[in-house]
């Protein structure tokens, strides 16, 4: 497995999450359905193989461990990411986050506000503070990839 | 003494009236406060507030009297032989830092050994690490047996290396296992060591008599004993406390100061620099006085009845790895849903208003030994109910269903 392959596999998963799962999630009527969808979402992202999980990829500030890999396409000014988490709910939420920012230009990514975006999707109430802080740590790490 | 009536007991906590939906099983993290504690603190601020030990005025004398009365009450609570053996501090963490720092200058020299166990909370590991590495003191760790008990045979063997200090928890904050503290203290003393007991989880479970326990130090945090946050107790035998170099310098702890040197005050003030948490001490004393009104054997047997019901229910749920033993357990159950991360389990319980802790419980070395990401911890208190047990079991069953669907 290479970063290229992971990026290639992640892209269609994120499009599907954005187009199909997100609307389903926002319409789910009870918390059980919501969490079932979240966990399925997480499963759609290809996992980062154990031996690629270098300590430098580890995102601190999460209750559970999470990892982030990045690629910047200079010609097209686009940021692409691959991420993984050992906790499934967190991975689902991070997948949603990634579906919103993957492929953004440098300027777009710099301007992106996670709280606002989640608010718009009515997802904010489902973020508890501690899990929220893990997401924020991941978002901060994603933004660190900007130049 | 009052007989213990669970409904009446729970009724003394306004928290539960304000949060009727919640099943609170995170008592090992912090406990709720009975109204008498909150009232005692409010009364102090509203009626008596003044600084202690220094005012020329009557108000300060009254505040001093209330504060020192709190010390007396707490001394009586653990049967300390003298009032100056109760040192107020911010909690067990502060107490352990004071002990580790304080002994490093007087008792421990390069090449000496300190012995702790593999079940300790970070508060009983990190202060020793910080000071040991600085002073060339060797830190030994008692390993665990296959069922996560402190390996008593290894403990005996490590004592043969003649550690100068032995420091261990009364009750494991992760697993709830009750250590054979009296025996461990007597063995450590026979080996010539000073003994330190981290009583953060122990003080609330059992009546602690420091004289019969014969330990040199026993420390705990007020907020895990129905008291406020920010206050705790460092108990020490007078001779042991005299060995401690103060970690903090400042007001109150000196008898004479000039720019070249200062003379330290006598105990307990020598180890209480600065304005103490007066209201906190008063609140903690109120908690100690209050809990003593109940028959402690009845309280304990009620809690073990809840624990027994909980364990029985867990046996009906497939796919669990239960880390805690039901035997010699103070009311804490750590478990995992097989193959699932504890953060996921804890979050699914949270969605069902069951408050537990999921993670490593400030015991990372323990979980590294086990190769686990952590565990979900259910910790019970006497204000929990049989309904709490049933509801949390249902919620756990639901969480397992969602996770394994």
| pLDDT > 90? residue B56 | no
Tokens 């053996």 sit on residue:
B85
Please check whether residues B165 and B242 belong to one and the same domain.
Answer: yes
| pLDDT of the residue at A143 | 95
Cα B234 from Cα B210, distance rounded (Å) = 12
pLDDT of residue A60: 80
Last residue of a domain, one of B274, B291, B308: B291
Does the beta-carbon distance from B398 to A90 stay under 8 Å? no
B210 and B90 within one domain: yes
B18 pLDDT above the threshold of 70: yes
CA torsion sign, B233 to B380 to B349 to B327? positive
Interchain CB distance below 8 Å, A39 and B347: no
Phi, psi dihedral angles at B336 (to 5 degrees): -135, 150
Q: What is the mean pLDDT of chain A?
A: 90
Decide yes or no: CATH 3.90.1010.10 for domain A3-143.
yes
Residues B355 and B243 in one domain: no
B236 backbone dihedrals φ, ψ, rounded to 5°: -150, 150
CATH of residue B301's domain is: 3.90.1150.10
CA B218 to chain centre: 10
Same-domain check for residues B135 and B16: no
CA dist B331 and A137 (Å) reads 34
CB contact under 8 A, B351 and A35: yes
B288 an active-site residue? no
- pLDDT-derived band at B341 (thresholds 50, 70, 90) equals very high
Provide CB contacts within 8 A for B301, sequence distance 6+. Answer: none
Number of domains in chain B: 2
Token pair for B378: 């259910």
Collect all residues with Cβ–Cβ distance below 8 Å to B369 and sequence separation of at least 6.
B118, B144
What is the predicted pLDDT for the residue at B292?
96
Note the ipTM here. 0.91
Nearest to B344 among A31, A89, A128 (CB): A89
Rounded to the nearest 10°, the torsion over CA B365, B371, B376, B379 is: -40
B131 and B109 in one domain? yes
Distance CA B81, CA B267 (A): 14
List of residues 6+ apart from B321 with CB closer than 8 A: B335, B336, B337, B338
The first and second tokens of residue B180, run together, are 């054979």
Question: What is the rounded end-to-end Cα distance, in angstroms, of chain B?
Answer: 51
Residue to test with chain B: of A39, A40, A63, most B Cβ within 10 A: A63
pLDDT at A64: 84
Average of per-residue pLDDT across B103-132: 95
Whether residue B281 sits in one domain with residue B240: yes
Considering the domain architecture, whether residues B314 and B181 belong to the same structural domain is answered as no
B287 and B301 in a common domain: no
Q: What is the pLDDT of residue B93?
A: 98
What's the whole-number mean pLDDT along residues B275-292? Answer: 98
- Cβ distance of B343 and A90 shorter than 8 Å: yes
**Residues B285 and B331 occupy one common structural domain:** no
Are B344 and A131 an interchain contact pair (Cβ–Cβ within 8 Å)?
no
Hey, CA dihedral for B141, B146, B148, B149, is it positive or negative?
negative
A40 and B CB contact within 8 Å: no
At B379 the pLDDT is: 98
- The residue of chain A nearest to residue B404, with distances taken between CA atoms, is A36
Which DSSP string corresponds to B107-134?
Answer: T--TT-EEEEETT--GGGTHHHHHHHHH
Which of A64, A126, A137 to mutate: most B Cβ within 10 Å? A64
Band of residue A133 on the pLDDT scale cut at 50, 70, 90: low
Q: Is residue B140 part of a domain?
A: yes
Strand (E) or helix (H) holding B358: strand B357-359
Range of the domain at B14: 6-30+295-404
Q: A31 and B347: CB-CB below 8 Å? A: no
Catalytic residue among B89, B132, B288, B362: B362
Q: Which of A31, A86, A131 sits opposite B373 (nearest CB)?
A: A86
3-class secondary-structure state, position B238 = helix
The closest CB to that of B350, out of A39, A64, A128, belongs to A128
Cα separation of B8 and B355, whole Å? Answer: 22
Total beta-carbon pairs less than 8 A apart between chain A and chain B = 38
Structure confidence by residue, pLDDT tens digits, A113-127: 988 888 888 877 766
Number of CB atoms found within 10 A of residue B373's CB: 19
* Closest chain A residue to the Cα of B341, Cα to Cα: A87
Scan for tokens 């029985």, then name that residue: B312
Name every chain B residue with its beta carbon within 8 A of the beta carbon of A32. Answer: 398, 402
List B88's β-bridge partners, or say none: B233
pTM exceeding the 0.80 threshold for the entire prediction: yes
A65 interaction partners in chain B (CB closer than 8 Å): 373
DSSP class of B81:
S
Kindly state the percentage of chain B with pLDDT values over 70. Answer: 100
Instruction: Please report the residues numbered 49 through 108 in chain A whose beta carbons come closer than 8 angstroms to any beta carbon of chain B.
Output: 63-65, 86-90
CATH code of the domain containing B178: 3.40.640.10
Instruction: Quote the pLDDT of residue B205.
Output: 93
Question: pLDDT tens digits for A56-78?
Answer: 999 986 678 899 999 999 999 99
Q: Are residues B276 and B348 in the same domain?
A: no
Asked if B188 and B166 touch (Cβ cutoff 8 Å), the reply is yes
CA A87 to chain B, closest CA, distance in angstroms equals: 5
A37 touching chain B per CB within 8 A: no
- Alpha carbon A10 to its chain centroid, in Å, reads 10
State whether A35 and B341 contact (CB < 8 Å): no
Residue B91's SS3 state is coil
Among B291, B313, B338, identify where a domain stops: B291
Q: What is the pLDDT at residue A126?
A: 64
- Beta-carbon separation of B347 and A128 below 8 A: yes
CA B217 to chain centre: 13
Is residue B399 pLDDT above 70, yes or no? yes
For residue A64, the distance in angstroms to the closest alpha carbon of chain B comes to 7
* Domain finish residue from B291, B317, B336: B291
* C-beta atoms of B340 and A88 within 8 A: yes
Mutate to test the interface with B, among A89, A129, A133 (most CBs of B within 10 A): A89
Contact yes or no for B361/B402 (Cβ under 8 A): no
Say yes or no: B299 and B271 in one domain.
no
Tens digits of residue pLDDT in B203-248: 999 899 999 999 999 999 999 999 999 999 999 999 999 999 999 9
* Helices and strands (H and E) in chain A: how many: 7, 3
Q: Using an 8 Å CB-CB cutoff, list chain A residues near B359.
A: 63
Based on the domain organization, do B136 and B197 belong to the same domain? yes
Q: Assess whether pLDDT exceeds 70 at residue A112.
A: yes
Q: What secondary structure letter does DSSP report for B236?
A: E
Residue with tokens 């579906």: A99
The CA distances from residue B9 to A42, B2, B146, B149, B295, in Å, are: 44, 11, 38, 32, 12
Residue B1: inside a domain, yes or no?
A: no
């Amino acid at each position: 497995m290479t970063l290229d392959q992971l990026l290639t596999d992640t892209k269609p998963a994120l499009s599907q999450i954005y187009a199909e799962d997100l609307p389903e999630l926002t319409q789910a009527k009870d918390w059980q359905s919501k969490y079932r969808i979240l966990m399925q979402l997480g499963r759609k992202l290809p996992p980062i193989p154990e031996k690629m999980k270098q300590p430098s990829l580890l995102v601190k500030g999460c209750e559970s461990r999470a990892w982030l890999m990045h690629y910047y396409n200079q010609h097209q000014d686009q940021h692409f990411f691959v991420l993984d988490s050992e906790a499934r709910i967190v991975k689902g939420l991070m997948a949603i986050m990634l579906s919103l920012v993957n492929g953004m230009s440098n300027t777009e990514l710099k301007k992106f506000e996670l709280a606002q975006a989640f608010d718009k999707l009515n997802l904010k109430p489902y973020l508890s503070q501690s899990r929220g802080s893990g997401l924020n740590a991941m978002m901060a790490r994603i933004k660190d990839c900007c130049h | 003494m009052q007989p213990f009536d669970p409904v009446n007991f729970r009724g003394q906590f306004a928290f539960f009236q304000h949060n009727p939906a919640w099943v609170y099983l995170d008592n090992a993290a912090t406990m709720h406060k009975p109204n008498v504690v909150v009232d005692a603190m409010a009364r102090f601020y509203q009626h008596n507030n003044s600084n202690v030990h220094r005012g020329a005025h009557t108000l300060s004398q009254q505040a001093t009297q209330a504060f020192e009365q709190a010390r007396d009450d707490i001394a009586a609570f653990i049967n300390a032989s003298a009032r100056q053996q109760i040192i107020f501090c911010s909690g067990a963490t502060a107490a352990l830092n004071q002990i580790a720092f304080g002994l490093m200058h007087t008792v421990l020299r390069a090449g000496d050994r300190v012995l702790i166990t593999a079940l300790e909370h970070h508060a009983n590991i990190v202060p020793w690490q910080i000071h040991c590495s600085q002073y060339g003191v060797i830190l030994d760790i008692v390993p665990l047996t296959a069922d996560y008990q402190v390996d008593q045979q290894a403990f005996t063997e490590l004592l043969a290396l003649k550690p100068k200090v032995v420091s261990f928890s009364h009750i494991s904050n992760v697993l709830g296992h009750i250590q054979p503290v009296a025996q461990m203290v007597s063995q450590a003393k026979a080996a010539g060591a000073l003994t330190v007991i981290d009583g953060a989880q122990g003080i609330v479970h059992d009546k602690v008599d420091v004289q019969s326990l014969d330990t040199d130090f026993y420390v705990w945090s007020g907020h895990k004993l129905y008291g406020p946050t920010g206050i705790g107790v460092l108990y020490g035998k007078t001779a042991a406390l005299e060995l401690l170099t103060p970690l903090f310098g400042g007001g109150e702890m000196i008898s004479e100061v000039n720019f070249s040197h200062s003379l330290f005050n006598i105990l307990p003030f020598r180890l209480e620099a600065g304005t103490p948490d007066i209201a906190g001490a008063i609140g903690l004393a109120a908690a100690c006085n209050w809990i003593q009104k109940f028959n402690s054997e009845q309280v304990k047997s009620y809690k073990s009845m809840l624990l027994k019901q909980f364990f029985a229910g867990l046996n009906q749920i497939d796919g669990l790895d239960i880390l805690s033993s039901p035997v010699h357990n103070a009311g804490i159950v750590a478990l995992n849903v097989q193959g699932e991360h504890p953060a996921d389990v804890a979050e699914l319980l949270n969605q069902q208003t069951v408050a537990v802790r999921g993670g490593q419980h400030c015991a990372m070395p323990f979980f590294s030994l086990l190769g686990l990401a952590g565990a979900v911890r259910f910790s019970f208190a006497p204000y929990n109910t049989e309904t709490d047990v049933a509801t949390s079991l249902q919620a756990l069953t639901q969480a397992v269903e969602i996770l394994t669907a």
